[in-house]
Chains A and B, each alone.
Chain A
C-alpha cells in the first residue's frame, strides 16, 4: 500500500480513501487525525502507514470531537491539517465544528466525512451530511470518483487557507470504497511545526460574533463565485431536457446516457455548499425539464426548485418522484429515470429480470462474530445468568449479537449510548439492565455516561467488552493498549483504575472464556442492586490467531464425539452460534478450518467436546 500512496508514477490505482490521503500529501499536510469508522477508516489507516516515514503528525484520537479540535489546533498554529470520520463522527464533532467556522483557521484545514447510504456498515441511520454544510456555514466539496478525491482535497486546502475557513469534503461508501486510476501530482514537503501567534480575531465573543456571522455569509458568497465553475462540470448537448447531479450519481448518469445511446446536457456539481447559483440558473434557463439525480435526500432538488422559480417558473423538475429517497442510488434506478426523461426505452428489461431473481429463495447470511470471538462467550454467559434482563447495545463488532441465535441486544443507538439508555431504563423500571460497551467505545463516549450513573445513583450493570483493540474498523489501537497510531509505545490508560476513579465499587476483570465465572459474576453484581462494572477482558481472536501463527504456535482445535452428544447439548451448541459449529444434513460437527481453539464450546458441552487428537 505504502508504495502506491507514495508512488512517483504518473498514474496509480488508488482507493477513494487513499486518494484523499494522496491529495493531502500533495497539499503538504502536516497533521492528520481521525477516529476510525467505516466507510472512512482507510483514510486514517493510510496515514498510519506512511506518517512516520514522512514525519507527519498522525493520531487516532479518542473520539471525533477531540480529533477535530486537535486538527483545528494544528491549523491555528499554521500547520495544514486533515481530520476524517464517518457520518456519525461528524455528529460527535459538530459541537466544535460550528464555532470553528466563526473562529476560522490560519493554515488550511480539511474535514472529511463519509456517509454510508444503505447502511452497509452502520446500524443507526442513513445520514445525509450535506445539510451540515449549510447549518455550519462551511464550504463542502463532493468528489465523484477516486481521481476527484485527490484533486478536490488539494482544492479544499487551497480554499481553506485562502478564506481562513475549514472546508468539508463529503464522500459516500461507493466513493470511499471505489478503486480507480488516479493521475498523480508531486508530494509536497509539508510544514510539520508551526507557531501559535496570538490574534484578537480568534477570540470571537458577543457582540462581535454577530458581525462574524455576517462576514461568514459574504465569505461563502465569494467562495461560490470563485470556485463554483472550477468545481463544476458541464456536458453540453442539444435539447431542452437536462440533468443536474453530484457525487457518486454522476458516474451512473454517464452510464445511463451511454446505455441509452443519447446525449443530454448534464451539469455536475462539485461544490455542494455554497451552491454556484449563477451556474445552475444559466443551465436551467433554457430547459423545458430537468432531472435531479442525487443520493438520499432532495438537497439539490430543493435549491433547483428555488432557482427555477426565479429564472424559469415553467420548468418541469423531476427528481425524487422518479428516484429513491432511501437506500443508496443504483444505476438501474438512474437508467430508468433518464429513460423516462428522454422518452427512450432501455434495451434491457430490468423489471422482468428482477422478478425472475426474486422468485429464488436464498438462505440469509447474516454477518457474524468470528469463531472464538470473546464477545459471543460474554453474551452467552449473560443470557444464562439473566435471560430476562434488558440488554442495551452499543457500537462495535458486538452489534452482531443482535442476529440469531444469540439475539442478545435489545437496541443499538450511538457510541456510548448503551450506558445512558440503561440508566434511564433502570430509573423508571424495576427491571435488571445490562449495558454492553466495547473498550474503544467506552474511551470514546462511555466515561461521562458512567460518571452520570455514579452521580445519579444507577443500579445497572455495565459489561465493558475489552478485546484490546478497535476491532470492527480494522484493529486500530486505542488509549488502553499502550500503542498509538504511529506504532509508538504510550502509557496505557487502565480501565480498572478509570472505573474505580469514577466511584464504582463493584468492579471486576473477568475472562469471557471462563463462562462459569462470567455467569456467576453477572448474577452476583445484578443481585447487589448497585452500579457495577465487569471488564470482560480477552484479546480479539483474530489478533491472537495472527500472532500465534507468526510465532509458529500450534492452535489446538476441538472436535465433537458424536456418540456422547445429548439432545440437550446439541441444542446448547446451536444456540451458541459459533460459525465453526456446523450442522450439515442433520449431523453436527466442528469445522476444523474455522475452529480457532477457544475451547468455550467444550465448557458448554464438556461431555462431548474435546481437543482434537
Chain B
C-alpha cells in the first residue's frame, strides 16, 4: 500500500509542482453511463501533466447495463493498471449502488473520498428477485465505513436541467471533484483532456456542464 507516500488529495492541488508517488481513482458505474469516457479524460489530463498513467477497463458483455468499474492510476511510475483493495484515493460513483459495490477499493487508512451521483438506477434484481436497494442515507453510511468522506451530488438532475439528458453527469462530477481539489491535476489539463477525448462538437456543452459541476463544488451544500 502506498498511502504513506501519498499526499492527502485535499491538499495536493495547493502544493503545486510537488510530484506525488501515485494517485488512484476508481470510477464505478453502469455500462452506458460513461465510466470509460471519464477514465480516458482523467488519463489524458494526467498524461498531459506529465505523469505516468495506466487505466484498466472492461468491455463487451459487461457493458450492457452491467457493473463497469474503471481504474485510473497516475504518478511518478505506475506498474500495474489495477488498483489494490483499500488503495483508492477517490471513488467516483456514477450510480450510488455501484459505488457501494466498488467500496472495497476504499479504506479509512487511505482516506478515500467518495463522490457519488444521487440518482438511483434500480437493477432488475430489485424488481424481479426482490433484492434490497438501500436508501441514500444508508448508502452514505456504508461508504463512510470504507473512506474518509462522502459527497453526494445531485449530478444527473442538474445535468438533465441543463442539457435535457443525463448523459454528461460524469463530466459534472469531474467538475465537482476539480473544484473541491479532490484530483491533483489543474483544471487546464482536465479541460485539455476533455478536448482530446470527447467529440469535438460536444466540447462546449461538456465544458458548460463541467463548470456547473465546479460551481456545485465551490458553492453547493456538499
Are A and B genuine complex partners?
Answer: yes
Measured CB to CB, the residues of A under 8 A from B are 13, 38-39, 41-42, 120-123, 145-146, 173-174, 177-181, 248, 251-252, 254-255, 258-259, 330-332, 335, 346-348, 350, 353-354, 356-357, 360-370, 397, 399-400, 403-405, 472-474, 574, 577, 579, 582-584, 593
Question: What would be 14 A-B contacts, judged by CB atoms less than 8 Å apart?
Answer: A120-B62, A121-B59, A178-B56, A178-B81, A252-B79, A252-B80, A364-B123, A365-B30, A365-B123, A366-B124, A367-B66, A404-B129, A405-B128, A582-B122
Tell me whether B97 and A174 are in contact (CB under 8 A). no
0 or 1 for each of B124-146: is its CB under 8 Å from A? (1 = yes): 11111101110000000010011
What residues on B are CB-neighbors of A259 within 8 Å?
1-2, 84
The stretch that binds A, out of B9-17, B46-54, B147-155, B202-210, is B46-54
Nearest B-chain residue to A350, judged by Cβ: B85
0 or 1 for each of B150-175: is its CB under 8 Å from A? (1 = yes): 00000000001000011000000000
Decide yes or no whether B104 CB sits under 8 A from chain A: yes
Tell me whether B60 and A39 are in contact (CB under 8 A). yes
Q: How far is the CB of A62 from chain B (nearest CB, A)?
A: 20
Bound-complex Cα distance A473 to B61 (A): 8
Q: How far is the CB of A601 from chain B (nearest CB, A)?
A: 14
Bound-complex Cα distance A252 to B61 (A): 26
0 or 1 for each of B106-130: is its CB under 8 Å from A? (1 = yes): 0101000000000000111111110
16 more contacts with CB within 8 A, not counting A331-B84, A582-B122, are A38-B60, A120-B60, A173-B58, A180-B54, A255-B79, A350-B85, A362-B101, A363-B97, A363-B129, A365-B66, A365-B98, A365-B101, A367-B64, A368-B124, A400-B61, A405-B124
Nearest B-chain residue to A261, judged by Cβ: B4
Tell me whether A472 and B80 are in contact (CB under 8 A). no
Tell me whether A178 and B133 are in contact (CB under 8 A). no
What residues on B are CB-neighbors of A255 within 8 Å?
79-80, 84
Q: How far is the CB of A106 from chain B (nearest CB, A)?
A: 35
Bound-complex Cα distance A397 to B64 (A): 8
User: Which of A13, A348, A350, A363 neighbours the largest number of chain B CB atoms within 10 Å of its CB?
Assistant: A363
CB < 8 Å neighbour of B86 from A248, A353, A574? A353
Tell me whether B58 and A362 are in contact (CB under 8 A). no
Chain B interface size band reads 35 or more
What residues on B are CB-neighbors of A582 within 8 Å?
122, 127
Tell me whether B125 and A365 are in contact (CB under 8 A). yes
Tell me whether A121 and B66 are in contact (CB under 8 A). no
Known: A121-B62, A365-B66, A593-B166. A177 touches B132 (CB 8 A): no
Tell me whether A120 and B61 are in contact (CB under 8 A). yes
Q: How far is the CB of B137 from chain A (nearest CB, A)?
A: 15
What residues on B are CB-neighbors of A145 within 8 Å?
54, 81
Closest 3 CB pairs of A and B: A38-B60, A121-B60, A367-B66
Q: How far is the CB of B36 from chain A (nearest CB, A)?
A: 9
Known: A179-B43, A180-B81, A579-B124. A364 touches B131 (CB 8 A): yes
0 or 1 for each of B66-105: is its CB under 8 Å from A? (1 = yes): 1100000000001111101110000000000110110110
Nearest A-chain residue to B193, judged by Cβ: A13
Bound-complex Cα distance A394 to B78 (A): 40
What residues on A are CB-neighbors of B109 within 8 Å?
348
Bound-complex Cα distance A120 to B62 (A): 7
Tell me whether B129 and A353 are in contact (CB under 8 A). no
Tell me whether B124 and A404 are in contact (CB under 8 A). yes
CB < 8 Å neighbour of B85 from A179, A354, A405, A584? A354
What residues on B are CB-neighbors of A363 within 8 Å?
97, 123, 125-126, 129, 131-133
Tell me whether B64 and A400 are in contact (CB under 8 A). yes
Known: A39-B59, A348-B1. A367 touches B81 (CB 8 A): no
0 or 1 for each of B190-214: is its CB under 8 Å from A? (1 = yes): 0000000000000000000000000
Bound-complex Cα distance A181 to B123 (A): 36
What residues on B are CB-neighbors of A574 within 8 Å?
127-128
Known: A121-B60, A348-B109, A579-B65. A364 touches B82 (CB 8 A): no
What residues on A are CB-neighbors of B125 within 8 Å?
363-366, 404
0 or 1 for each of B1-37: is its CB under 8 Å from A? (1 = yes): 1100000000000000000000000000011000000
Tell me whether B1 and A472 are in contact (CB under 8 A). no
Tell me whether A178 and B55 are in contact (CB under 8 A). yes
Tell me whether A179 and B53 are in contact (CB under 8 A). yes
Tell me whether B60 and A41 are in contact (CB under 8 A). yes
Nearest A-chain residue to B81, judged by Cβ: A178
Q: How far is the CB of A482 from chain B (nearest CB, A)?
A: 25
What residues on B are CB-neighbors of A258 within 8 Å?
2, 79
Tell me whether B54 and A179 are in contact (CB under 8 A). yes
Bound-complex Cα distance A579 to B33 (A): 14
Known: A13-B47, A363-B125, A472-B61. A251 touches B55 (CB 8 A): no
What residues on A are CB-neighbors of B146 within 8 Å?
356-357
Q: How far is the CB of A29 from chain B (nearest CB, A)?
A: 23
Bound-complex Cα distance A360 to B63 (A): 24
Tell me whether A179 and B81 are in contact (CB under 8 A). yes
Nearest A-chain residue to B101, judged by Cβ: A362
Q: How far is the CB of B34 from chain A (nearest CB, A)?
A: 14
What residues on A are CB-neighbors of B186 within 8 Å?
none
Q: How far is the CB of B148 from chain A (nearest CB, A)?
A: 15
Tell me whether B40 and A179 are in contact (CB under 8 A). yes
Known: A13-B47, A38-B60. A367 touches B65 (CB 8 A): yes
